Amino acid sequence: MIRVGLCGLGYWGKNLFRTISGNPNIEFVGVADAKAETRDKLAASHPHLKLYADALELIADPEIDAVVLATPVSFHYAQAKAALDAGKHVMVEKPMCTTSAEADDLIARAERHGLTLMADHTFLFHPAVLKLGELVHSGALGQISYFDSQRVNLGLFQPDVNVLWDLAPHDISIIDYLFGGEPVHVEASGYCHVNPGFPDIAYLTFHYPNSMVAHLNLSWMSPVKVRRIAVGGSDKMVVWDDMNREEPIKIYDSGITTHPRQDREIILPSYRIGSVSSPRLAGNEPLVDVVENFRQVILGQAKPRSDGHVGRRVLRTLERAQAALDISLRQVDVAMADAFYSIAAE
């Protein structure tokens, strides 16, 4: 049986704790968390678990074969590297690390040591994403023209990443799964309302070959939580509302018929508004399947659905989005300063 240790028992680590504990084929050895209060509570409720004050202590424990990292993003690279060098299989929370160069290094280390490296892009295990994949990959939607995502809520402000690095990994990993390939051009703008230099709202536009455009609206400043993805194709369009428990996915048999270029000035496009269907989604809680996939990959019984290469592709797009966001933030600063001086001069 694989012996697993979990590092980081914060907001997301608690979900991993529940799913690792619930997997009957995993021996859950211990938990590392920097907070003494967290360890004390765990010692009282789960006296059989080993406890460590730092991830590196857990990683050094010879009784552990595989490590799950749910620590803050800035620690991921050093901890994953230490775990791989100690001969442990690793699953790292998204984003896998902070640069694609770090990701290259982790992938090379895992390959060199013959170990499993996975990035937890949980949505790749979500029944709704699998359904979207079925619709896109089978061609049921026709030629895809857009992917539009709204991922907004109030907080949680992260100490070491901005809203782009916190929320965009979800959409970028979903886009990667649905369409493959990386964007040919990336645009971004954003705003820092709470912490200077630390965007809490970001609008991203990714351009793909074949005229597909993806737009991501990411925010920690929304009073309501919205999780909505729309994918539009030439034959059908689909909307996934993750906050709608009854009918999360709706497939619209709707589309637009255009006419030959020479006729477009005289004949308007026609709209086809057909029926709407809402398929039932079946499946486990995604994180249960993430943990089980990690276990099976370690044992050579399955292929990883979200390996280090997925993690690296997500990071590459994040880096390009951050570069575009930096340019936009500087341009807006200059424009604001110009506006201020011209008003002052009047």
Ligand X SMILES: NC(=O)c1ccc[n+]([C@@H]2O[C@H](COP(=O)([O-])OP(=O)(O)OC[C@H]3O[C@@H](n4cnc5c(N)ncnc54)[C@H](O)[C@@H]3O)[C@@H](O)[C@H]2O)c1
Considering only 3-11, 202-210, 319-327, 337-345, which stretch makes contact with ligand X by CB under 6 A? 3-11
* Nearest residue to 90 (alpha-carbon basis) of 240, 318, 307: 307
Q: Which residue in 1, 11, 74, 334 binds ligand X (CB under 6 A)?
A: 11
Considering only 4-12, 198-206, 275-283, 338-346, which stretch makes contact with ligand X by CB under 6 A? 4-12
Q: Which residue in 71, 293, 306, 328 binds ligand X (CB under 6 A)?
A: 71
Alpha-helical runs (H) found in the chain: 11-22, 36-45, 55-59, 73-85, 100-113, 127-137, 163-179, 286-298, 308-345
150 or 234: whose CB is closer to ligand X?
150
177 or 252: whose CB is closer to ligand X?
177
The dihedral sign for the CA sequence 156, 162, 165, 167: positive
In a 3-state reduction of DSSP, which class is residue 41?
helix
Q: Binding to ligand X (CB under 6 A): which residues in 16-45?
A: 32-35, 38
Does residue 171 interact with ligand X by CB under 6 A? no
Interface pattern 89-108 for ligand X (x via CB under 6 A): ----xx--------------
Q: How far apart are CA 91 and CA 94, in angstroms?
A: 10
Q: How far apart are CA 145 and CA 15, in angstroms?
A: 36
Q: Binding to ligand X (CB under 6 A): which residues in 132-151?
A: none
Does residue 155 interact with ligand X by CB under 6 A? no
119 or 214: whose CB is closer to ligand X?
119
167 or 204: whose CB is closer to ligand X?
167
Does residue 5 interact with ligand X by CB under 6 A? no
* Nearest residue to 170 (alpha-carbon basis) of 120, 224, 117: 120
SS3 content of the chain, % helix, strand, coil (to 5): 40, 30, 30
DSSP symbols for 132-181: HHHHHHTTTT-SEEEEEEEEEEE-PPPSS--HHHHHHHHHHHHHHHHH-S
55 or 314: whose CB is closer to ligand X?
55
Q: Which residue in 2, 20, 29, 55 binds ligand X (CB under 6 A)?
A: 55
Q: Which residue in 100, 122, 149, 317 binds ligand X (CB under 6 A)?
A: 122
Total number of residues shown for the chain: 346
Q: Which residue in 13, 190, 308, 311 binds ligand X (CB under 6 A)?
A: 13
| Contact positions vs ligand X (CB under 6 A) | 7-13, 32-35, 38, 54-55, 70-73, 75, 93-94, 120, 122
